[in-house]
Structure 1
């Protein structure tokens, strides 16, 4: 079960320096994806756009280092965290509460783990995790409005010491944000600046 960090949904509609949904380009894309009178259809359109049209840097082999929503939209690629920030921004710009969720997953990086970023979206009065990561073989994410049917790109395996963190964050956690800010374009990989756990 996922738990919002702040009960008030207004916190999950706010803009900040990372989920910068007041940026003109983000607002224009959000308007393009808006489906009048249907929050679920709007969420689906935003999900499909981020999953299919914004490449994951690792899959592409091109590391933009973009992490703010507007920079990710401009670059056309980002790691999972940047994609999650853009997805949240597109939803919030359309009045749909959205937050950030995380998993600790085993990976072939020093330390053996990465923190994977995805989203939680308030649809039909309940929070459901949606993962717009897309791309890589084995990434079986799909859109769902039912928390019992949610499917992130990579299910956490407790036997591998993997973790689904239950918190829905309204903003990017500081330790993760520090790492994202330290990234540089075309510096391949991300294990050297992102935390391995939250």
Structure 2
């Protein structure tokens, strides 16, 4: 990927607001100076995965979207936690973007919803997907480049790994996170994308 294409995965923005003071203080506390990109990415991933509570798992409000708000309140859905992880990576000058899976909400068919992930560009391996949603019984997402170990695997034909790497959050994700004020309202209105049949 050429430099012009990569720049978009390093930018600060409304939702990936890594210039915010809290995000900068967290980076300093992680003591990342002098580490290779792979080790920086792993430390950032594990911090977000383990220190920010998944809104639905913990039944926590408020609903967050901006990276700085995810850090401030220490809670967020998978999408929001991904925004914080991307912010930390970009602030460390490591290209990162947002990816999505389409999954069955209950694992057995409809309804379906999007699930948010992160893709980080590692010098040694290229693009590598990681899932900071948070582990619990039955979910064990890890950083083990170049092998992906995501929170969820696909098991139904209506599920999919969406191939795009987005420089900014998907508009449907932002719409849901900014429309609903409580974790349960978000859960009842999770975004979804219909797959195109070929």
Q: Which TM-score band (shorter chain)?
A: 0.7 to 0.9
Structure 1 residues 112 and 44, CA gap change in structure 2 (3 angstroms): same
- 1:103-142 mapped onto 2 (5 Å cutoff): 103-108=101-106, 111-125=110-124, 126-142=126-142
- Specify which of 43, 49, 70 is matched with residue 72 of structure 1: 70
Task: After superposition, give the CA deviation of every residue in 1:69-105 in whole Å (9 maximum; x if it has no partner).
Answer: 0000001111100100000001111111110000011
Residues 18-167 of structure 1 mapped to structure 2, 5 A cutoff = 18-37=15-34, 38-108=36-106, 111-125=110-124, 126-146=126-146, 149-157=147-155, 159-167=156-164
Matched, 1:197 2:156: no
Instruction: Identify the residue that residue 10 of structure 2 maps to in structure 1.
Output: 13
Structure 2 alignment gaps of length 5 or more: none
Distance (Å, rounded) in 1 between the aligned partners of 2:184 and 2:144 = 32
Give the drift of 1:117: 0.2
Q: CA deviation at 1:63?
A: 3.0
**Cα distance in 2 between the residues matched to 1:9 and 1:165:** 19
TM-score w.r.t. the length of structure 1 is 0.88
SS in 2 for 1:8: helix
Aligned with residue 173 of structure 1, among 151, 170, 173: 170
8 A contact 1:56–1:135 mirrored in 2:
no
Q: TM-score, normalised by structure 2?
A: 0.88
Gap change, CA 1:34 and 1:7, over 3 Å in 2: farther
> Which segment drifts farther, 15-24 or 173-182?
173-182
Quote how far apart the aligned CAs of 1:7 are: 6.6
Give the match's secondary structure for 2:50.
helix
> Helix, strand or coil for the counterpart of 1:190?
helix
